[in-house]
Amino acid sequence: MKENRDLNLAVLIDADNIPYSAIKGMLDEITKFGVPSIKRIYGDWTKPTVSGWKPALLEHAITPIQQYSYTSGKNATDSAMIIDAMDILYSGKVGGFCIVSSDSDFTRLATRLREAGMLVIGIGEKKTPNPFIVACDKFIYIEILKTKTKEKESEEDKELEKEAFDAITVKEIKLIATTITDLSDDDGWAFLGDVGSLLQKKQPNFDPRNYGFQKLTPLIKSTGKFIIEQRDSQKRKSKLIFVRNK
């Protein structure tokens, strides 16, 4: 996915099912895709369950939107977010949305925003249902964004961090292999940048960080299933990376 850091983004956060401890990591991640010019968070602020968010709102200039739970068992927050999203869409002030929630109720909203030509980034926990994930251009798991506030991690912290990573499976390796084949030249080589972009389109939640790697290159190397080659570039100082199936 090509990043446009000047793109204005609307960040809409569902306070009911997103942990406030991840807010800094989330906002840092969002700035990779554009400028969060609108930042709103939705919830019933009379409830103690969302009280942990309040200090973070002032620190990060996020506007709280009060939404009372009118009926037991019904999520009024979802409706408020959807209505605001459509109002923002028609205002023409942004080029993309970041929907922060683990709720599949936002699947149709994500689809509608993309139909209107908006970039849609989803952020949520690994429990997020797949329909919402695939409705986004890109979906990022909160578990890989949580930042440490202490200089030294306890052993428990390290174990929890390990649990945040998935082991790459045959399914993901096959996905990478078929993507390389889709893009390869007559000799079987494909530019790694193009491979990464197509992987994102095929599977919006594909992210090397899910498997403990910061970049795609070391992830691919770790599998032992691919050949990587660096080539000189006439247009840039850095080398270009190409990959092929073994």
| Domains defined for the chain, CATH in brackets | 8-160 (3.40.50.1010), 170-245 (3.30.420.610)
Residue 194: both structure tokens together: 């193009």
Question: Can you tell me the distance from the alpha carbon of 66 to that of 160, in angstroms, rounded to the nearest whole number?
Answer: 33
pLDDT at 31: 94
Q: Count CB-CB contacts under 10 A for residue 133.
A: 21
Longest dimension (CA), the chain: 64
pLDDT at 156: 44
Tell me how many degrees the CA angle 85-86-91 measures, rounded to the nearest 5. 100
pLDDT at 166: 87
Partners of 35 in the β-ladder: 8
pLDDT at 162: 53
φ, ψ (nearest 5 deg) of residue 66: -75, 130
pLDDT at 40: 96
Question: Can you tell me the distance from the alpha carbon of 1 to that of 138, in angstroms, rounded to the nearest whole number?
Answer: 8
Strands (E) in the chain, as ranges, are: 8-14, 35-43, 63-66, 96-100, 119-124, 138-141, 190-191, 226-231, 240-245
DSSP 8-state assignment for residue 145: T
Cβ contact 64:55 at 8 Å: no
Cβ contact 142:125 at 8 Å: yes
Residues in the chain: 246
Q: pLDDT per position in the chain (246 positions), as tens?
A: 656 678 999 999 998 888 888 899 999 999 999 999 999 999 888 888 888 898 889 899 999 998 876 555 446 678 889 999 999 999 999 999 999 999 999 999 999 999 999 999 999 999 999 999 999 999 999 999 874 433 344 444 455 455 568 889 999 999 999 999 999 999 999 999 999 999 999 999 999 999 999 999 999 999 999 999 998 877 777 789 999 999
Number of Cα atoms under 13 Å in the Cβ half of residue 89: 20
